[in-house]
Structure 1
């Protein structure tokens, strides 16, 4: 496995593992003037690739997801036959985006709808978004989309709330409790206190 430890690299799916191919091949880090990283797809022997064996698609997706988690911003492969499995990889990427919209966005939106008939007059809802729709990072497109959707929902819902109800959204940066897990993705970001975020509420 070749890795330069940098974010923003080209991710290359390979059938060769650690084999270093001559300069000029896509999996050789000296071929390009930008960083690359490789990930071996387990099991894609040439006969299975030629046969368009659908059973290896899960291995292709797993390897692609590993590259994305390591910081790849684009994907390629050392074998053109992998293109037969490109739709499966694209579908997996779409599902990753939809996961954030379903869970982070619709989870909170549905909570508001469910609480409208339970909360007292003048009560308030506080949703949690983030900063990535305003201060994006690499590999943060899904989170940025979710944050923007939440902000739009709150702006629209705020002027339609009945019985004096209020709604707002807090958009903290990197929480202090998340630094160990996500800190490397937020270079230069000052962690914010999760306790302070938890005390946020609509004014007035």
Structure 2
């Protein structure tokens, strides 16, 4: 083959390799997933003391992270602070509202930092449990020898039993207020 023929063949092959249509090339490309689609839906502040994993597409964005240890898997100690967003930390976290102090880690219980009034909002007022005396069958009768940690310790179940008592109990301001309370933060 002469030199001109070789150059011509090379040019034809080169042009042929670049002559595929743009749409054919585009079908082999994929749109990368968003940080949110990959599960990076939290903010750095949401992680408290938990390690932060950053979205690989937004390494400097504090609003697209994943907390590597969730509050449900977190080792919590008695005395830890419970925050309004459900997270727990051993100390104060800037920008979060503390709503309770953990006192029972096995049952995941915390005591509220806010008293409530009869309307179920923050405030402090004396309330009666019930307008009538009635022994609620769904509640156990605790004695002084039972101890505070072994008898009637499920506050949610006890409140529900009082609320379900109906007209036999009359009005139940404390249970009603407790049931209505929503912590803020």
Bin for the TM-score computed over the shorter chain: under 0.3
Determine which structure has more spread, i.e. the larger CA radius of gyration. Answer: 2
Q: Which has the higher helix share?
A: 1
- By relative contact order (CA 8 Å, sep 6+), the higher-ranking structure is 1
